[in-house]
Structure 1
Amino acid sequence: MTAYLRFELRRLIRDPRVIVFTVVLPVLIYFISTGSAGAADRIGSVQVAAYLMVSMAAYGALVGVMSVGIGVANERATGWLRQLRISPVTPGQVVAVKALLASIMAIPSVAAVGVIAATRNGVELSAPQWVALVGLLWLGSLPFAALGLALGFSMPPNLIQPASMLGVFGLAFLGGLFVPVEAMPAALAKIATWLPSNRYAELGWSVAGDKAPPLGGVAILVGWAVVFGGLAALMYRRSAAQK
């Protein structure tokens, strides 16, 4: 298990392409969206600049962690998954290791947008708040890593990238990362509160507002993690068994 973890970590480090999309794009959107925001402007109890910081950091994190499916789809095409199938590594371990390492891709986005927010927009959080923000948005990204794996285990290489990007955009839009839930129509706002993307960003919004994340939201996010994790394990078993 340890050897497999080291192997996957080396593969992650050797593929820097995703960093560009998880860092550059969220930072650019943040620059544009906060251009006219005043220091006194707020969404709920959170300063607009801090609220958008969390939203764009969460969006970049989704792009990064769900991109794990692209590599997995290529592994299926080369037959690597069939080799894993006959190894001592169990399906649960494969999903856990890949999801854990994919979740690391959430950290660059959070760090980059956070630095810009602090230096350009004057977002001020205490040291414990910054630590909590990075830690929660890292751990909270695990359900999306599992979803990316499920897509990669079930889709061909030529379809996985557009499917992943559409999934990210849909989750981000419907989850209130581009448009605050408070500004959504009532029906969409209700849907948003049940989506993992909204509850994921809520972790960061709570920290920015100096509050503890709501337990109900955490429970919803954990529930999605269980669903996506089980789906990823099931898709792995099916794909590894294919000839």
Structure 2
Amino acid sequence: MNTTYLGLELKRFARDRVTLFFVAILPAFFYLIFGVAQDFGSESAGNGNVALYIMVSMAAYGAVTATTGIGGAAAVERMQGWGRQLGLTPLRDSGYVAVKATLAVLVALIPVSVIAVLGILTGAAGTAAAWGLSLLGVLAGAWVFALFGLVVGLAFRTEGAVNAIGGIVVVLGFLGNIFIPLSGTLLDIARFTPLYGYVSLVRYPITEGALPDSSGGTAAVDPLWLPLLNLGAWALILGLLATWLVRRGRGRQ
């Protein structure tokens, strides 16, 4: 991976104060509304309490929002001619994708760190393993969604498509079991969507695979291999698509 190019990308992102603000504040706001403001936040939930369960869920959502934005912005760059300039350098298409994915993970540290601090201050509780493994899982899987943003932007090649990524993430968030507990047919469908595997892995150190239903019971228990397979399959699909679309876009320029 080209560390010089990655350093330039980090400096450029740091100058975008408006984006920094929304990346850091919006997921934290959701945590305060859905977690801290609820009376059931202190109730037990596996190896932690409900507040911790909601905290890691919102951290995952914030990481996805940040990383898809990075991927979408990369697509806009290429549509504006940046790909032609990169074509004159030794940077390979796979290297370009790797730099953007790494940048996305580093940016995802912002909302994750903010929400983790809020969780400590507002009563999110759990075992040390539940805390550590869940937050590491948020960061470890976030790069997949930088590829998702890149694929959407490069496939449709319009700024409108890039702007629509935020709405797509909200829909996938519902299907990913982030905002409301799913059951029955909806849960069966959700298991094939991109965010499901990611969020399930993030929650696994807390719930050990148990999926709550709307009544407070357990809708199902997922074995660990299921979210691992989901995330791994989507990482492979999106990685191959992103590399192919980058190469195709360079050929058109």
TM-score normalised by the shorter chain: which range applies?
0.7 to 0.9
Distance 1:118 1:210, change over 3 A: farther
- The equivalent position to 1:71 in structure 2, one of 55, 70, 73, is 73
Aligned residues: 238
Aligned position for 1:144: 145
Give percent identity, aligned residues only: 32
CA displacement, residues 200-229 of structure 1 (integer Å, 9 cap, x when unaligned) = 112221223478x81331122011001011
Within a 5 Å distance, the mapping from 1:189-200 to structure 2 comes to 189-200=187-198
- Alignment check: 8 A CA contact 2:176 2:194 kept: yes
Quick one: distance in 1 between partners of 2:100 and 2:187?
32
Quick one: distance in 2 between partners of 1:140 and 1:107?
12
Quick one: distance in 1 between partners of 2:232 and 2:123?
33
- Alignment check: 8 A CA contact 1:73 1:155 kept: no
Distance 1:236 1:142, change over 3 A: same
One-letter identity of the residue aligned with 2:203: W
Aligned position for 1:105: 107
Matching of residue 227 in structure 1 with residue 237 in structure 2:
yes
Matching of residue 187 in structure 1 with residue 190 in structure 2:
no
Quick one: distance in 1 between partners of 2:66 and 2:103?
11
One-letter identity of the residue aligned with 1:63: T
- Alignment check: 8 A CA contact 2:48 2:206 kept: yes
- Tell me the CA shift for residue 96 of structure 1: 1.1
CA displacement, residues 117-140 of structure 1 (integer Å, 9 cap, x when unaligned) = 2211342442x5433333221110
CA displacement, residues 21-60 of structure 1 (integer Å, 9 cap, x when unaligned) = 2321122122122222335535566522111111111111
- Alignment check: 8 A CA contact 2:48 2:125 kept: no
Quick one: distance in 2 between partners of 1:222 and 1:179?
24
TM-score when normalising by structure 2: 0.84
- Structure 1: runs of 5 or more not aligned: none
Aligned position for 1:176: 177
- The equivalent position to 2:204 in structure 1, one of 182, 203, 206, is 206
Quick one: distance in 2 between partners of 1:132 and 1:117?
15
Quick one: distance in 1 between partners of 2:117 and 2:207?
18
How much is the aligned-residue C-alpha RMSD, in angstroms?
Answer: 2.3
- Structure 2: runs of 5 or more not aligned: 210-222
